[in-house]
Structure 1
């Protein structure tokens, strides 16, 4: 990594964790152009005999599909309760008042609490073991939901699903961010995230077909929703054990030379070392929370989660109240998800092409606001409300991966990627708790309080995203100053490595 880092080995003798890492010493602004960085990557590839195009295809085929399947299953088992409710879950379990909303809410409590801890643990248990085991467990719990007989059993299952799913989403974003550079990432992140839309569509489609099983073997249609989808998840867990990618440094599908090239390539393009070798403590984790760059993306994601979960959990119910039967409502709930799937991937490709995140996140958010306003305003025009569902789903589920990917790739070291992605998603999912209580049965069929809250939440997300933009823009300018570089050089070597994106060489994307 000549031209970026100046190696000084003497300082590392007392710390074996840092022996294989390079200490950075900066005397003047060293940010270089993208062309210069790409030239250095090309030289590295030639020296190691790496065909970059073939390696990228290899990574894409070995990393992304398994994560797509994993999150498809995760989201499917998370939101299928809304489809089951249309088939009589609340009636058969004698749910009263807000008990259905409470059952939705309890999922988020462990989901939020355990996310940072889960990303911490994944450094000690290989990801393919950790994630495939969790997938198997939440599939089994989903089957168990098909046999609950009362409110208490439903709540217990939802709580356990929250525990087992806590690691899936942030861990996948964490892992993906260790394979791709800032300008390669968005279309891969969004391809994975678009499985959320496919899962929403599949949940409605499966529920539509499952209606034919109502009463078979004495099992109601809503029970079959959980049993069938949970069984599919458990079966796929065995496949995922062999296909989920571990961190690049220990990847099973890369050769030693490919692992070395990938690690050094990402260090060159980011301007900081990965710090994978450092075994961080909980104290190291705690230091990350003093940084505004950890909080602003979390607030932006929080604002999007409220309407996103509100839509995922209640869209089928809203569509039913437009005059459709329960079966037809499940069928019609599929199409907005499919529209969202297309837009997510198209916008991701364009975002990577222009190497910008904020403009596309804002445009997607405004699209969601228009859709929510149509659902709210067209009280007596079902077709306009239904059209609003298309814009709402497309806008929200396109904006979310843009926000998460933007923040994940702006975190430089393994420590900051781990904490940043987990906290953004964990804190953001507090919005899921709010979402479950703003669409109350008493407000049907308009759901004015819920929809107004959703619009306000998207506006809040827009403001947090703009604040994050100005924060990283200011830091990019500050890193060129001698004062910043001197202050960074005064940090202990371990802190400089863990600082990741605070490295003067690291240029934030916006």
Structure 2
């Protein structure tokens, strides 16, 4: 017997959406019960058609962002404590070539997040209107074009302009992909799929530095600096991915032409009967922000994003203080990400099986706090610091995807998920701005300020998660008392 797991939605003339809630575990659709479709085989078919291209798109987007950070920050990070071998640390010359001084490097990193945060909700609304294969491919294509252009900037102002438009183009990719994934799967299947997509971030972060280190050897080729080659090659690759995405990204279930009519109806029914003609209005956006739970979701994600971005910043710095070369440093950054990848996959499988999110969120946060405490207090043992780095990576990435999935899959239908994914990711990524100014070279070598900020963020995240869980319990109890359990659209815990 196949159980229906979401809600029916009806749009009223005034633009508001009325949800007719269906319990995840308590209501079965007769049409689904009578279907001869093999549900497991259909889910595998969806996995093959939906996830690989989204994964490739965000590997390209995050890789571009990561190698941009490497190119912009690497010289600034060479001014480290006495243990650094300066001849090995001086690698790329972007700050010198563009005559960056003072905090201009930080501003160049920061300006990316301004359009990235502001345009995420509008982007999801446009994606619903124009279809995912058009919108997402356009976003990644535009991202590649701007990245290519960044390889030819000649001044600080040109760098700021390209960084701004990179943020503008990428704004729709991450939240749009999670929005799309959430519409295709039931709640108890979702974290494993979210994690597969989330792993694109981990893989890009793990190998982005290695790629940048390899490209740095192209310095002077055809009269171009190595940092220019990074942007040019990454831009060309991303443009090619953008053209491919137009043909390979799938749309929402109701528009998926690669499914038969019976399969489309089955998919829509199993995830809650999402209606095709749902539209998103300004009234829906205002209604969304009347719920305190939606602010809590954004705060949870913000507080885990701060150490995620900071981790990308401070890991190479810590390793370099022990005198490793650039390539050795990048090689040492891979195992923490590999450990994070393994724990994320194990957690996703276990969490989906148990249909629980909250315990895994808290577990990840505890790991991260322990790791940060080690890094803050231990300064003369590379083994201990490296263990701390691994614990931080495992904790923040595990908690991050569990928080995102927990919140998004508690939202209902196209309207809430379109707004909610964009709001959570957009607000949360303001943590990237905080991280940019948390680990400054003036605080080297101990970075007490940066570690304190990250530990504080983790504690706020834990408190917000506990409060969100309490509100979820209250929400479920209220629905059961009002509508009866069979009609209740219960929140997961």
| TM-score, structure 1 normalization | 0.87
Provide the rounded CA distance (Å) in 2 between the counterparts of 1:4 and 1:301.
Answer: 29
Deviation at 1:145, TM superposition (A): 2.0
Aligned to 1:509: 492
Provide the rounded CA distance (Å) in 2 between the counterparts of 1:392 and 1:15.
Answer: 49
Is 2:330 aligned against 1:330? yes
Q: Runs of 5+ in structure 1 lacking a partner? A: 6-10, 25-29, 268-272, 486-501
Provide the rounded CA distance (Å) in 2 between the counterparts of 1:473 and 1:71.
Answer: 34
Deviation at 1:60, TM superposition (A): 0.5
Matched positions, count:
471
Provide the rounded CA distance (Å) in 2 between the counterparts of 1:137 and 1:130.
Answer: 11
CA displacement, residues 463-490 of structure 1 (integer Å, 9 cap, x when unaligned): 11111101111110011223x78xxxxx
Seen in structure 2, the aligned counterparts of structure 1 residues 481 and 100 have a Cα distance that, compared at 3 Å, is: same
Q: Runs of 5+ in structure 2 lacking a partner? A: 75-91
Provide the rounded CA distance (Å) in 2 between the counterparts of 1:354 and 1:200.
Answer: 30
Deviation at 1:284, TM superposition (A): 1.5
Aligned to 2:81: none
Provide the rounded CA distance (Å) in 1 between the counterparts of 2:222 and 2:93.
Answer: 17
Question: Is the Cα contact below 8 Å between 2:51 and 2:197 reproduced in 1?
Answer: yes
DSSP 3-state at the match of 1:473: helix
Is 2:190 aligned against 1:207? no
Seen in structure 2, the aligned counterparts of structure 1 residues 460 and 15 have a Cα distance that, compared at 3 Å, is: closer
Moved more, 443-452 or 191-200: 443-452
Question: Is the Cα contact below 8 Å between 1:45 and 1:51 reproduced in 2?
Answer: no
Provide the rounded CA distance (Å) in 1 between the counterparts of 2:157 and 2:335.
Answer: 34
Provide the rounded CA distance (Å) in 1 between the counterparts of 2:340 and 2:19.
Answer: 45
Provide the rounded CA distance (Å) in 2 between the counterparts of 1:23 and 1:368.
Answer: 38
Aligned to 2:89: none
Aligned to 1:345: 345
Is 2:287 aligned against 1:256? no
Provide the rounded CA distance (Å) in 2 between the counterparts of 1:353 and 1:120.
Answer: 32
CA displacement, residues 176-215 of structure 1 (integer Å, 9 cap, x when unaligned): 1100111010000001001100000120121222232222
DSSP 3-state at the match of 2:152: coil
Provide the rounded CA distance (Å) in 1 between the counterparts of 2:198 and 2:3.
Answer: 36
Is 2:151 aligned against 1:168? no
CA displacement, residues 293-324 of structure 1 (integer Å, 9 cap, x when unaligned): 21111100010111111112332233223322
Is 2:146 aligned against 1:141? yes
Provide the rounded CA distance (Å) in 1 between the counterparts of 2:308 and 2:168.
Answer: 21
Is 2:90 aligned against 1:103? no
Deviation at 1:388, TM superposition (A): 1.8
Provide the rounded CA distance (Å) in 1 between the counterparts of 2:110 and 2:271.
Answer: 39
Moved more, 312-321 or 130-139: 312-321
Provide the rounded CA distance (Å) in 1 between the counterparts of 2:486 and 2:23.
Answer: 13
Provide the rounded CA distance (Å) in 2 between the counterparts of 1:324 and 1:306.
Answer: 27
Match of 1:219 among 203, 215, 224: 224
DSSP 3-state at the match of 1:480: helix
Seen in structure 2, the aligned counterparts of structure 1 residues 91 and 325 have a Cα distance that, compared at 3 Å, is: farther
Aligned to 1:83: 70
Q: State how 1:174-323 maps to structure 2 within 5 Å.
A: 174-267=179-272, 273-323=273-323
Provide the rounded CA distance (Å) in 1 between the counterparts of 2:218 and 2:65.
Answer: 21
Provide the rounded CA distance (Å) in 2 between the counterparts of 1:254 and 1:469.
Answer: 37
Match of 1:51 among 31, 38, 46: 38
Question: Is the Cα contact below 8 Å between 1:208 and 1:328 reproduced in 2?
Answer: no
Provide the rounded CA distance (Å) in 1 between the counterparts of 2:385 and 2:449.
Answer: 16
Provide the rounded CA distance (Å) in 2 between the counterparts of 1:505 and 1:77.
Answer: 44
Is 2:112 aligned against 1:129? no
CA displacement, residues 113-149 of structure 1 (integer Å, 9 cap, x when unaligned): 0011111111111111111111011112112222222
Seen in structure 2, the aligned counterparts of structure 1 residues 151 and 503 have a Cα distance that, compared at 3 Å, is: farther
| TM-score, structure 2 normalization | 0.90
Deviation at 1:3, TM superposition (A): 12
Seen in structure 2, the aligned counterparts of structure 1 residues 17 and 299 have a Cα distance that, compared at 3 Å, is: closer
Seen in structure 2, the aligned counterparts of structure 1 residues 387 and 145 have a Cα distance that, compared at 3 Å, is: farther
